[in-house]
Amino acid sequence: MTILVTGGRGAVARGLTALLDEQRLPYRLASRAPAGPDTAPGTIHCDLTDPATFPAALDGIRSVFLYAEAAAVDAFVKEAVTAGVEHVVLLSSSSVLAADAADSALSAAHLRVEQALLASPLRTTLLRPGSFASNARGWAWALKSGAPVRLPYPGVHSDPVHEADLAESAFAVLTDPAAAGRAYTLTGPQSMSFATQLAVLGRVLERPIPVETVTREQWKAEVAAYVPGPYADALLDYWAATDGLPVELTDDIERLTGHRARSFETWAEDHAAEFTG
C-alpha cells in the first residue's frame, strides 16, 4: 500500500518519510518544487494548487498525508476518489475549533479542507496541532544579531509542538487502522508564554535574551515582508484576546506515539545551531 506524502520540503513530511524508511514501507514523496535544493531525491511534482499535477501523483496510491491547501481541494478530493485512495491524513490546525474559524485568516483554509474531506467518501483522519515549536525560528534573526526580540504580547501562551511528534503521530494513524478516522488535537506538554519560551532558549544558548514590548502597529510593520496583513491582524486579535491565558492541553500525542510529547526545551536543544552564528 503506497502512501503519498505531500509537502515534501516540510519538517513533518521529512520526519514521516524517515519513519516510513525505517519500516521499509512504500511511499511517494511529493512537493510543488521537486527539484529544489532542500528536496529529497526522487520527489515528484504535486502542487496542491494545480489539479493538473494530481493524477500522476495519486496513481496507485491508497493513503495520503495531506497538507491543508484549500485552493484546489475539491479537485484533489475528486481525483483521490477516482484513483481509489482509501485514507487521507490531514495536517490541519486546532484553530478550526474556534467559534469564528470560518471567518478567521488563521483557520479558514484548514476548515475548508477538513469540510471537503469529511463530505467525501474518503476515510479521513484529522491531526490538529496547536502551535508549532518551529514558530520560534521567527526570533532567530534577533538572537543571532543580539537585538531584543520585539513582541506586542510577550505574555501570550502557546503549546509548542515538536515536529518529530507530529511526524510520529502521522505515522501512527497511517499504519494503525484502529487509530484512523478520528480527529486528534495535538499539543505540546506545556502551555508557555512567549517570554518563557525565550527564557528557555536563553538557557539552552547560555545567554540572556532581551525582550522588548512593542505596539501592534510596530510589530505588524516589522513582519510585513513575511506575514500577510490579514494574517497579522488575525494573530494580533487572537493574542489580544488570549493574553496571559494558558492553552488547554491534551494527551493525544502520547496516545498515538506511546510517549509524552517532547518539551520545548528539547526542541530548542535540537535546533540550537539555528539561533547562533
Average pLDDT, the chain: 96
150 and 277 assigned to the same domain: yes
Q: Report percent pLDDT > 90 for the chain.
A: 92
Instruction: With respect to residue 154, please indicate whether it lies within any of the assigned structural domains.
Output: yes
156 and 268 assigned to the same domain: yes
Residues 36, 94 contacting (CB under 8 angstroms): no
Mean pLDDT of 73-91: 98
221 and 141 assigned to the same domain: yes
116 and 238 assigned to the same domain: no
Mean pLDDT of 210-214: 96
Instruction: With respect to residue 173, please indicate whether it lies within any of the assigned structural domains.
Output: no
137 and 49 assigned to the same domain: no
Instruction: With respect to residue 201, please indicate whether it lies within any of the assigned structural domains.
Output: yes
For residues 33 and 44, what is the distance between their CA atoms, to the nearest angstrom? 9
Instruction: With respect to residue 257, please indicate whether it lies within any of the assigned structural domains.
Output: no
CA angle 118, 92, 111 (to 5 degrees): 55
118-121 long-range contacts, Cβ below 8 Å, gap at least 24? 120/77, 120/80, 120/81, 121/81
Instruction: With respect to residue 211, please indicate whether it lies within any of the assigned structural domains.
Output: yes
**pLDDT tens digits, one per residue of 35-80:** 877 788 899 999 999 999 999 999 999 999 999 999 999 999 999 9
Instruction: With respect to residue 175, please indicate whether it lies within any of the assigned structural domains.
Output: no
Domain of residue 46: give its range.
Answer: 2-129
146 and 116 assigned to the same domain: no
Mean pLDDT of 12-41: 93
Cell of 246: 494558558
- Read off the pTM: 0.96
Instruction: With respect to residue 96, please indicate whether it lies within any of the assigned structural domains.
Output: yes
Question: Which pLDDT score, from 0 to 100, does residue 210 have?
Answer: 95
DSSP string, 142-162: HHHHTPPEEES-TT-EE--B-
Question: Which pLDDT score, from 0 to 100, does residue 143 have?
Answer: 93
> What CATH number does the domain containing 149 carry?
3.40.50.720
Domain count along the chain: 2
74 and 110 assigned to the same domain: yes
Which of 129, 145, 175 marks a domain boundary? 129
Q: Is the pLDDT of residue 106 over 90?
A: no
68 and 23 assigned to the same domain: yes
DSSP-assigned letter for residue 129: E
Instruction: With respect to residue 171, please indicate whether it lies within any of the assigned structural domains.
Output: no
17 and 114 assigned to the same domain: yes
Per-residue confidence band for 220, with pLDDT thresholds at 50, 70 and 90: very high
Beta strand segments in 149-259, E = 149-151, 157-158, 183-186, 192-193, 211-213
139 and 270 assigned to the same domain: yes
Cell of 186: 495535538
* Residue 59 CA: distances (Å) to CA of 123, 124, 178, 190: 18, 19, 25, 41
108 and 138 assigned to the same domain: no
90 and 151 assigned to the same domain: no
Residues 93, 113 contacting (CB under 8 angstroms): no
Q: Is the pLDDT of residue 252 over 90?
A: yes
